[in-house]
Amino acid sequence: MAVPPSAPPLSSLSAHLLAASFAISYVGSLYLSKHSRLRFSSTAVAHNQNDVPRQKYDGERWRDDPDVIRARLTAVTLSTLLSCATIGWVLNHVDHGNSSTGDLICATLYWIGLGVDLSPAALKTIFLSSLITVVLFLGPLYGYYLDSSLPFQSRFSFKRDVYSVIRTWIGWRNYIIAPITEEVVFRACVLAVYHMSGASVNKMIFLSPLWFGVAHMHHAWDVYNRFGRTTAALRRAILGTCFQLTYTSLFGSHVAYLFLRTGSILPPITAHIFCNVMGFPALIEDLARYSKRRYVIWFAYTMGVAGYVYTRSRWSENPDSPYWNHSF
C-alpha cells in the first residue's frame, strides 16, 4: 500500500494570512508614526497642470521630504525584521520548538535566501541570474547608448548620475533600502510561507506577486493630493495605480521566479535595483527621438525579450534550491 505524502506544515489559509500580515505590516509601518505619515492641506487646491504636482504649502509633509523618508526607512526596516522573525517563529512551530536559537537563525536565513554558499557554482548562478534582467532591458539600454548616457560615454557623469543620487535620501530609498526590504518581505518571506503550505511553483510565481502590487496602491492618495484633489487628479491617481499594480505584479512574477529558481534573495534585489535605475522602458520616446534608427531599436527590444526567454531558465538553474521542485 502506497504511503501518502506528509501534509504541508502550513495550511493554505495560514499562508494567506501570514502573507497578508507581511504586506499590512510593511505598508502600515509607514503610517504608524506622525514622522512618517504624509500631511496635506485640508482645503482644495486649484491646479490645472496635469503633468506636474501643485505647489507645496507650509506645514505639508510629502513623501520625498528628507525627514519623511528617514522615518519611513526606519519603519520598513523594523517591519522587515519583524517579518523575518515571524518566519523564524513559524519554523520553530514546525519543528515543535526543538531547534536551538542558533539553528533557528540559520534556518531562517536559509529560507529567506540569505544562506551563505560561497561555492563557485553558487556564485556563478547568482551572477548569471542577476544578468537576466539586464538582458531583458537590451532595448532600453540601446536607447541609453544612442543618448550617450551609458557609463563611460560622453553624457555620463559618475559624480552627477551616481554619487549625487546615492548620497540623497531619495537615492537611499529608491536604490538601496526599498529594494532590499521589499524583496526580503514580498519575495522571501511571502514565498517561504506559501512554500510551507505546499503551494505549486506556478501559484507562487503568478499569484504571490499580487501582494506586492496591492501594497503599492496606497500611493494613489499621495498622487491625488499632490495634483490638486481635482477630477483630473483623481483620474491620474486611478490610472497610475492600475498601471503600477500591473507593472509591479509582472515584475514580482519575474523576481519570484528568480528567487524560487536560485534559492537566493540576491538576484531579486539586484533586479529590483536595476529596474529602479532604468525606469519603465521608453520605447515610444526612443522611436520618436531616433526615427532613423527605429528598425534597430525594434530589433534591440525584440532581442531583449528573446534573450530573456533563452537565459531565464538556463542562467538561473540551481539544483540545490530548496524551493524549485523540492518539498518542504
Burial of residue 192, with CB atoms counted within 10 A of its CB: 0-12 exposed, 13-18 middle, 19 or more buried: buried
Residues 270-326 pLDDT 10s: 999 999 999 999 999 999 999 999 999 999 999 999 999 999 999 999 998 999 977
Average pLDDT over every residue of 73-83: 98
Average pLDDT over every residue of 227-253: 92
- Sign of the CA dihedral 62, 65, 70, 73? positive
Residues 177-199 pLDDT 10s: 999 999 999 999 999 999 999 99
- Specify the pLDDT at position 2: 40
Biggest alpha carbon–alpha carbon distance for the chain: 75
Helices and strands counted in the chain (H then E): 17, 0
DSSP state of 137: T
- Nearest residue to 65 via CA among 181, 168, 167: 168
